[in-house]
Each structure stands twice: as C-alpha cells, then as structure tokens.
Amino acid sequence: VFNFAAGPATLPENVLLKAQSELYDWRGSGMSVMEMSHRGKEFLSIIQKAESDLRELLNIPSDYDVLFLQGGATTQFAAIPLNICQPDDVVDYVVTGSWGDKAYKEAAKFCKPKVIWTGKPDKYTNIPGFDSLEQSPDAKYLHICANETIHGVEFKDYPTPKSSNAILVADMSSNFCSKPVDVSKFGVIYAGAQKNVGPSGVTIVIIRKDLIGNAQPITPVMLDYKIHSENKSLYNTPPCYGIYMCGLVFEDLLAQGGLGEVEKKNKKKAQILYDTIDGSNGFYRCPVEKSVRSLMNVPFTLEKSELEAEFIKEAAKEKMVQLKGHRSVGGMRASIYNAMPYDGVEKLVAFMKDFQARHG
C-alpha cells in the first residue's frame, strides 16, 4: 500500500529490509539491536554513527549538541521553557497551528509566554510577515512550529529574534530532514522522529551548547538538557532500537545525495498534488495560502463534502491508506514525507482525477 499517514508514517522500504536482514543478528554480534546493552560497544557504535551522519546531513556546527531523547515533541514543549528561561521570563510564541498552540499552553506553566501572532482567526492557513511581528523586547526566545502537521502550513524562511539575547526555537517534528536547514540560525531545534526519520519513541534535540546548564531548579532530571548532554544521551536506557532505525534512515538520506536532493524530490511530489487540487475547478480545495503550503502535509477538502467518506473508502480499496484529515479539521490529508515515493503521489493524483471525473 501507499501509506499517507501523518505519523507514525511510512519508512523507506530499503531501510526496513535492511533492518529485517539484521533483526536477529546485528552484524555478526549474535544479538538483535533490541537485545544489546546500551553501554556495550555495539550500541555505542550505532548511536555515534547516527549522530555523525545527522551532523553531516544537517551540517550541524560543532558548538551544537545532538541529543536522542524520549517523550515525543510534546515533552519538549515543557523542556524548552524549563531549560531556556526562568519562571518570570517573557518568551514569544508565533502560533501557526494546533502544535504551536499546545507548545504555548505548556510553556505557560513554566514561564510567561506571549502569543505575538496567531493564525487562529483564519483557521491556521497562513504565516505572518516577519516585519510585522511585534516581538517582546526582553523575550528569552522566539518559538515557532516550522511545519504544522495538521494544518499544512510551513515556514519557508525563519524570523530573526529581535533581542540580541533571544534565540529562535523550532519544533521541526514534521519537516525534520526534509530539506537543508541553516542550524546556526536556531538556538534549539527539536523533532519527534516518527514522520521523516524513524519510528516513534525517539525525539531529537539539536541545541547550541552555551544554552545548556541553566535549567530551572524544578526541572525533572529527564528533562534537563545538561544531564543528557553530559551523558551523551545515555543517562538512562535510551530507545535503542528507534535510534538504530533513525541511523539507518540517516544513512539512506546521505546515500540519496543529502538533503538538497531530498528537498528536490519533495518539491516535485508536492507540486503535482497541489497542481491537481488547484486545477480541479474547485472540486478539491486546499485552504492554505499558496506561498506557505507544506511540502509534507497536504490538507484538502471536497466541494461536495458528503463525498469525503466515499473518497477515503475508494482510495483505500486502491491501496492508498490513511488519507483521512485530522479529527480536529476533517477533510483529507495526504502526508508525503521523505519516504513517500513519487509513484505514490502520482497514483493518488491519478485517482483524484478519476474520482472527479466520476463524481464531478
């Protein structure tokens, strides 16, 4: 099947086959990765290779740490304020969708976040102009969600924090490793793995080293970046198998020629899908402002909304699954992450045209 799920999502077939081939016996060790001590030389080689490949992919500067954590991006909604500011500090949130909103609400428990822009009145279909952002002069950080998975809104460029002491923090869960990113523009990038780079259970944090070590006193040990940094992500038992899978995906992305090549493929896939929606004379609609449409998550509705259940049912019969939109917004959503082949999107587009011919 072609699986258009928003996450956990489809993984590259060659990566899954490679994992299968070494499932019982990882490279002559006689052990599955699931059975290894996280402190043994075998697993240490796996996590170190995963980190160095990720550093190469994203060209991560040496003054940044890479942490492999647990708890999903949702845990980072709390870890960010707990590590980056004190209870009385002001921080700014640009809310371009449900995930940014959740991050803001969690931060409100640990500091004084301010929503400086929200797309809610327009049902999260846009991203603000950066010049018009009224940033707080003393904000400790500016938080964005680089790609809103539910609403399909993606930052194509990034705002610069106004205060020279402030940093940019980004939730990149749903477009992580889908394109090159200038890491040096950010203080912290965090992402759950389960969209583009692996199975759920691994959360990756990329953080500038000088930001580590200032956690609020109440910070639980598992949320303290200093603890994880000092212990090279091995303070407690990490999600070993997930990290191994991420490592295989990083190898695959490098073998494809790196993130520049990956981005080209992602643009081509998104283009044919958006073209089909826009060329359907209103039969299909994508509400998102064209310049900020996501390359990863394509939400769309049918003019005749009563046909949506039929669309999803027929698509599933044709082996295209998980096309139902998020329960909060309805309609359809095609998530076309790195591992979705061009053929999958081509097949979806052909189906959409045929469905329109029959029901239009």
Cite the active site residues. 99, 171, 195
For β-strands 203-208 and 284-285, DSSP reports them as unpaired
Task: Give bridge partners of residue 305 from the DSSP assignment.
Answer: none
Segment interacting with ligand PLP (CB under 6 A) among 72-80, 121-129, 136-144, 328-336 = 72-80
Residue 356 near ligand PLP by CB under 6 A = no
One of 12, 72, 187, 325 touching ligand PLP (CB under 6 A): 72
Q: Is 84 in the site for ligand PLP (CB under 6 A)?
A: no
Residue 70 near residue 79 (C-beta atoms within 8 A): no
- CB atoms under 10 Å from CB of 243, counted, come to 24
Closer residue to ligand PLP, CB minimum distance, 125 or 149: 149
* List of E strands, the chain: 2-3, 64-69, 90-95, 112-118, 141-145, 147-148, 153-154, 167-171, 188-192, 203-208, 284-285, 297-302, 320-321, 332-335
Within 236-265, which residues bind ligand PLP (CB under 6 A)? none
In the bound state, the residue with its beta carbon closest to ligand PLP is 72
Residue of 52, 74, 86, 256 interacting with ligand PLP (CB under 6 A): 74
Q: Is 173 in the site for ligand PLP (CB under 6 A)?
A: yes
Which residue lies nearer to ligand PLP by CB, 145 or 273? 145
The least CB distance from residue 303 to ligand PLP, in Å, is 27
Query: Quick count: other Cβ atoms within 10 Å of Cβ 253?
Result: 26
Q: For the chain, first and last CA: distance in Å?
A: 26
Closest to 82 measured CA to CA, from 265, 213, 241: 213
Cα–Cα distance, 264 to 259 (Å, whole number)? 9
> Which lies closer to ligand PLP via its Cβ, residue 270 or residue 352?
270
Cα–Cα distance for residue pair 331/278, rounded to 1 Å: 16
Is 119 among the residues that bind ligand PLP (CB under 6 A)? Answer: no
Comparing CB distances to ligand PLP, the nearer of 102 and 162 is 102
Contact 90, 139 (CB under 8 A): yes
Residue in 211, 165, 173 with CA at minimum distance from that of residue 189: 173
Site size toward ligand PLP (CB under 6 A) is 11
Site for ligand PLP in 289-318 (CB under 6 A): none
Which one of residues 2, 93, 99, 351 is an interface residue with ligand PLP (CB under 6 A)? Answer: 99
174 binds ligand PLP per the rule CB under 6 A: yes
Binding-site member from 12, 113, 119, 192 for ligand PLP (CB under 6 A)? 192
Record the tokens describing residue 130, joined without a space. Answer: 């950066």
**Among the listed residues 51, 65, 89, 171, the single contact to ligand PLP using CB under 6 A:** 171
- Map the footprint of ligand PLP across residues 132-151, applying CB under 6 A: 145, 149
